A and B are shown apart, each in its own frame.
Chain A
């Protein structure tokens, strides 16, 4: 069931005094817990918890043919599935808007920042390349799945070992891994979603705050100030000045967040 309008108004009123109902500051994240290597079958995996929000991310690799427009590069595919067990708002069946958007935003941050050097994943140009599948599953939704999915994808990619490949047969030997890691860049494109609730900008909203949010923008930043991708969501608009503030907030947030996940990424 939707959050009540009364509660949304309370959140907005209280936020106009700079306070949030759960006592956090506007630019404060909930506690982040990260676990890697949680799946034995996947090439790489991670579990990320932000407060009560929880996602699982798994990486699978396979050998396939490249796309005609990028014959010398590996393929990257990101899919997100919002499981019905994670919220009373998600139903089983083909992915809906939220699920598709979640996958796409995560995909764009990783792809546009060239975090994975896809050119190095080419086996025979025009014929055989590595496919990377990033699968995101929501386990519990208490708001801010976007950032949880992004952190999860980055950590899981870093955890990934390339599986053994039989060149004669042209097959991947599943269940056996080489010692090689994925060719990843040093700059980490960390996503940050900024929500506008009333006239205030906040990060890491919980479920109720996300419902009260009128507009949001997801930015993937690396090195704290290089913007790789940007996606605005919801129906309302940002003023120019507000957007500048959002950029500043994203930069500030990167500096706070990156040290927390650094040890899983380096």
Chain B
């Protein structure tokens, strides 16, 4: 069960925080709250005595910390994220991988746990291959990757599609509840990359399509609360 552990790691990274409090839709430059009782969190900035949004998204306040959960925009890589990428170039000491971020990411040859002939690294991973990797570090203009954890490496078979990376937390759900529901219902292996790429592999293509449709259903309704129950209903209807 390589994917079980995999999922748990993702959950630690970015879990959906579902609070009962009301969330407000804000645009960049909009003042969220005024007063000195608040601290600026993710995607916000302090200007004078007010906290201002830097991204378009949902504003949330928790114990004086104000943050914005973005609703659109491209993926910004962070250390520890598991992402799916495509091998875009081979070099003498590793692979250049496109992970859908503004900068190219590099996977060093040393990361492969077995002996690799340096003259033929295409044998391990060739241009165009899909690969699951973890972000090791993000520097000014470059990203370093790792495949040493379990569940990472070249992806064989199955299919990959893209969703809005900002909706990934909803697809994973609280403590992975959503993704395990889909796995249970469809019997597919699913890997959700934080960059919005999702890999699905099932026994039959029909199962994969069902899982894909379920994920599309979730991304279209990312505003709705109690989504897990709605997805359950949706699955019942499909049968």
Interface residues, chain A, CB within 8 Å of chain B? 1-2, 4-7, 10, 13-14, 21, 23, 208
- Taking a contact as CB atoms under 8 Å apart, the answer to whether A4 and B130 are in contact is yes
- Taking a contact as CB atoms under 8 Å apart, the answer to whether B86 and A4 are in contact is yes
Residue interface bits B144-178, CB-to-A below 8 A is 1, else 0 = 00000000000111111110000000000000000
> Which residues from A are CB-within-8-Å of B212?
21
- Taking a contact as CB atoms under 8 Å apart, the answer to whether A10 and B128 are in contact is no
- Taking a contact as CB atoms under 8 Å apart, the answer to whether A7 and B205 are in contact is no
Q: Which of chain B's residues 76-100 have a Cβ closer than 8 Å to chain A?
A: 86, 98, 100
- Taking a contact as CB atoms under 8 Å apart, the answer to whether B209 and A21 are in contact is yes
Q: A1-B86, A1-B100, A1-B162 are in contact. Are A6 and B209 (CB under 8 A)?
A: no
Q: A1-B86, A5-B129 are in contact. Are A10 and B98 (CB under 8 A)?
A: no
Q: Contacts A5-B128, A10-B158, A21-B205 known; list 8 others, CB within 8 Å.
A: A1-B86, A4-B197, A6-B130, A6-B155, A7-B161, A10-B159, A13-B205, A21-B209
Interface-centre pick from B129, B159, B197, B209 (highest chain A CB count, 10 A): B159
A210 to chain B, nearest CB (A): 14
How far is B128's CA from A5's CA once the two chains are assembled, in angstroms?
7
Number of inter-chain CB pairs below 8 Å:
35
> A interface, by DSSP: helix, strand, loop or mixed?
helix
> Which residues from A are CB-within-8-Å of B86?
1-2, 4
- Taking a contact as CB atoms under 8 Å apart, the answer to whether B162 and A6 are in contact is no
B193 to chain A, nearest CB (A): 12
Q: A1-B86, A2-B86, A14-B205 are in contact. Are A7 and B159 (CB under 8 A)?
A: yes
- Taking a contact as CB atoms under 8 Å apart, the answer to whether B130 and A10 are in contact is no
> Which residues from B are CB-within-8-Å of A2?
86
How far is B209's CA from A208's CA once the two chains are assembled, in angstroms?
14
| Those 3 A-B pairs whose CB atoms lie nearest each other, nearest first | A4-B160, A10-B159, A7-B159
Residue A5 contacts which of B98, B100, B130, B161 (CB distance < 8 angstroms)? B130
> B interface, by DSSP: helix, strand, loop or mixed?
mixed
The chain B residue with its CB closest to the CB of A5 is B128
How far is B129's CA from A6's CA once the two chains are assembled, in angstroms?
8
How far is B158's CA from A6's CA once the two chains are assembled, in angstroms?
6
- Taking a contact as CB atoms under 8 Å apart, the answer to whether B162 and A10 are in contact is no
How far is B162's CA from A10's CA once the two chains are assembled, in angstroms?
15
Check: B208 CB closer than 8 A to any chain A CB: yes
B interface residues, tally (CB under 8 Å): 20
Q: A1-B86, A1-B98, A1-B100 are in contact. Are A6 and B160 (CB under 8 A)?
A: yes
How far is B30's CA from A131's CA once the two chains are assembled, in angstroms?
49
> Which residues from B are CB-within-8-Å of A1?
86, 98, 100, 162
> Which residues from B are CB-within-8-Å of A14?
205
Interface residues, chain B, CB within 8 Å of chain A? 86, 98, 100, 128-130, 155-162, 197, 199, 205, 208-209, 212
How far is B98's CA from A5's CA once the two chains are assembled, in angstroms?
14
How far is B205's CA from A13's CA once the two chains are assembled, in angstroms?
9
The chain B residue with its CB closest to the CB of A20 is B209
Residue B157 contacts which of A6, A21, A23 (CB distance < 8 angstroms)? A6
A-B contact pairs, 23 of them (CB 8 A): A1-B98, A1-B100, A4-B86, A4-B130, A4-B159, A4-B160, A4-B197, A5-B129, A5-B130, A6-B130, A6-B155, A6-B156, A6-B157, A6-B159, A6-B160, A6-B199, A7-B159, A10-B158, A10-B159, A10-B208, A21-B205, A21-B212, A208-B161
How far is B199's CA from A5's CA once the two chains are assembled, in angstroms?
12
The chain B residue with its CB closest to the CB of A21 is B209
> Which residues from B are CB-within-8-Å of A5?
128-130
The chain A residue with its CB closest to the CB of B87 is A5
Interface-centre pick from B98, B100, B156, B209 (highest chain A CB count, 10 A): B209
A252 to chain B, nearest CB (A): 26
How far is B98's CA from A2's CA once the two chains are assembled, in angstroms?
10
> Which residues from B are CB-within-8-Å of A23?
209
> Which residues from B are CB-within-8-Å of A21?
205, 209, 212
How far is B158's CA from A13's CA once the two chains are assembled, in angstroms?
11
> Which residues from A are CB-within-8-Å of B208?
10
How far is B199's CA from A128's CA once the two chains are assembled, in angstroms?
61
A50 to chain B, nearest CB (A): 19
A227 to chain B, nearest CB (A): 36
B136 to chain A, nearest CB (A): 21
> Which residues from B are CB-within-8-Å of A13?
205
B42 to chain A, nearest CB (A): 25
